[in-house]
């Protein structure tokens, strides 16, 4: 079972790029972020015609998450627990049923800039809610993959120029500590464990500005966290870096993990 995360930066704007990648990949489940579409106008039929089941949690013009799956989905829930007043569409869960069942939690964590300020307060509060939900998922003692755009640069090696991010909400000490508080519950960072001794990257995001892609001025902010039961099944993980060089690409690229059948 191969599970991927892809911040598509507007599903309608990137429908050709997304479709090309979906056609080329052997991925079974794709979690999308920043679909920037309400549920009713998501191009559902297009992807269903390609053989995908589609579940969305959308929002007009901003945010929005979705799951595309070649496998059956059960127990689909939308919205991160802990704040009934939160109207931002940033979280979706489902159980994927193949030769074994995996709980998939797809997320688009708030950016938090400018910091300090109310947007940063919202980011930290959202991360605390995520930490609580992550603990509940671990308590279920089943394979769980909690993946998406975390908007967190965990370590200096996760940025080409870490000095440029010292005052950014993605790299502030409090942000990184909140991320570690989640990981340290017992989650495995699939991309990092694949190459734990890497001193630079791999990166998953390159800004459209200042020739960031051409200069490889990237950061790693898209992560796949595995519960112990999922980590035991991990065969491989990777970053589809070349997607960034395609026609009208997203500024993110897919990240993926393969679990043993």
Q: What is the pLDDT of residue 39?
A: 97
pLDDT band at 205 (very low <50, low <70, confident <90, very high): very high
The reply to whether CATH 3.60.10.10 applies to domain 2-259 is yes
| Binding site as annotated, residues | 7, 34, 149, 151, 251-252
- Edge-to-edge strand ranges of the sheet holding 222-226: 73-78, 91-97, 101-108, 144-149, 222-226, 188-189
Q: What is the pLDDT of residue 154?
A: 98
Bridge partners (DSSP) of residue 77 are 93
Joined tokens for residue 135 = 């603990």
pLDDT band at 149 (very low <50, low <70, confident <90, very high): very high
Q: Which of 17, 16, 42, 26 is nearest to 55 (CA)?
A: 42
Residue 197, pLDDT above cutoff 90: yes
Mean pLDDT of the chain: 97
Q: What is the pLDDT of residue 43?
A: 98
pLDDT band at 111 (very low <50, low <70, confident <90, very high): very high
pLDDT band at 56 (very low <50, low <70, confident <90, very high): very high
Q: What is the pLDDT of residue 118?
A: 98
Give residue-wise pLDDT tens across range 247-261.
999 999 999 999 996
83 with 89: CB under 8 angstroms? no
What are the C-alpha distances in Å from 214 to residues 28, 101, 191, 211, 243?
A: 31, 40, 23, 5, 13
Residue 176, pLDDT above cutoff 80: yes
Q: What is the pLDDT of residue 98?
A: 92
Question: Among all residues, which ones are annotated catalytic?
Answer: 108, 149, 252
Q: Which of 197, 190, 198 is nearest to 232 (CA)?
A: 190
Q: How far apart are CA 213 and CA 208, in angstroms?
A: 7
The fraction of the chain above a pLDDT of 90, given in percent, is 99
Give residue-wise pLDDT tens across range 178-196.
999 999 999 999 999 999 9
Question: Span 117-123, mean pLDDT?
Answer: 98
Residue 18, pLDDT above cutoff 90: yes
Q: Which of 95, 12, 20 is nearest to 58 (CA)?
A: 12
180 with 123: CB under 8 angstroms? no
Question: Span 62-68, mean pLDDT?
Answer: 97
pLDDT band at 239 (very low <50, low <70, confident <90, very high): very high
Q: Which parts of the chain fold into alpha helices (H)?
A: 15-24, 44-49, 118-139, 173-183, 190-194, 228-231
| Binding site as annotated, residues for Mg(2+) | 7, 34, 149, 151, 251-252
pLDDT band at 13 (very low <50, low <70, confident <90, very high): very high
Q: What is the pLDDT of residue 249?
A: 98
Residue 110, pLDDT above cutoff 90: yes
């Amino acid at each position: 079972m191969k599970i991927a995360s892809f911040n598509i930066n507007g599903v309608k704007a990137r429908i050709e790029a997304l479709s090309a990648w979906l056609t080329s990949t052997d991925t079974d489940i794709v979690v999308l972020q920043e679909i920037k579409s309400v549920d009713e106008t998501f191009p559902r039929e297009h992807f269903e015609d390609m053989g995908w089941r589609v579940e969305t949690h959308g929002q007009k013009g901003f945010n929005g998450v979705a799951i595309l799956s070649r496998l059956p989905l059960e127990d689909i829930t939308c919205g991160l627990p802990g704040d009934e007043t939160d109207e931002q569409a940033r979280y979706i869960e489902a159980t994927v049923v193949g030769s074994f069942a995996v709980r998939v939690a797809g997320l688009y964590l708030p950016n938090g800039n400018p910091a300090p300020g109310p947007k940063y307060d919202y980011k930290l509060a959202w991360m605390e809610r995520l930490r609580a939900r992550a603990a509940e998922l671990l308590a279920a003692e089943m394979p769980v993959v909690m993946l998406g755009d975390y908007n967190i640069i965990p370590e200096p090696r996760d940025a080409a120029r870490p000095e440029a991010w010292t005052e950014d909400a993605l790299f502030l000490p409090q942000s990184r500590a909140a991320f570690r508080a989640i990981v340290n519950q017992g989650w495995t960072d699939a991309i990092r464990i694949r190459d734990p001794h890497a001193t630079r990257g791999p990166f998953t995001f390159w800004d459209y500005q200042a020739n960031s892609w051409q200069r490889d001025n990237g950061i790693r902010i898209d992560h796949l966290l595995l519960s112990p039961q999922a980590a035991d099944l991990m065969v491989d993980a990777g970053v589809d870096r070349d997607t960034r060089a395609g026609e009208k690409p997203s500024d993110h690229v897919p990240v993926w993990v393969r679990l043993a059948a």
